[in-house]
Amino acid sequence: MDVRPGSAIVQVLTDPASTVGAHVVRTRTPGIVEGEPRGTIRFKYLARDGAALQVGDVLVTSGQGGLFPRGIPIGRVRAIDDRGAALFNYAALDPAVDFGRVDEVLVVTGRSPQDLTAYFLTGG
């Protein structure tokens, strides 16, 4: 990643090397959003009672790890891959943005203790 006046090189969520802590807004189910080689993203979460996801659920950054502020929209659940008794389940996501059409980026410096969920999901 690199930021200069008038340009930026960024790593998008669809990059297979990209991971970000996330949670489901409706249930607070935590997990990790991972980029995949085919240019899509998926949500990896612990399979446990009460963690049932639904198609259409919204995921946001969790704020864990200190890299991204909490509450930035990541995407919506498109499909759920229930692996039964497996430790982890996966959900395919539709990204909140079209990464092929990004013209501007916001550079966040320092740490923001603020939860940004309400700002992004209600339009500010």
Please report which helix (H) or strand (E) contains residue 120, including its range: helix 117-122
CATH of the domain at 51: 2.40.10.350
* Residue type (1 letter), 76: R
Domains held by the chain: number: 1
Q: 10: helix, coil or strand?
A: coil
* Residue type (1 letter), 41: I
CA atoms of 123 and 102, how far apart (whole Å):
18
Which domain covers residue 78, as residue numbers? 2-122
Query: Tens digit of pLDDT for each residue in 82-113?
Result: 777 778 889 999 999 888 888 887 776 665 55
Query: Tens digit of pLDDT for each residue in 44-81?
Result: 987 665 567 899 999 999 988 777 888 999 999 999 98
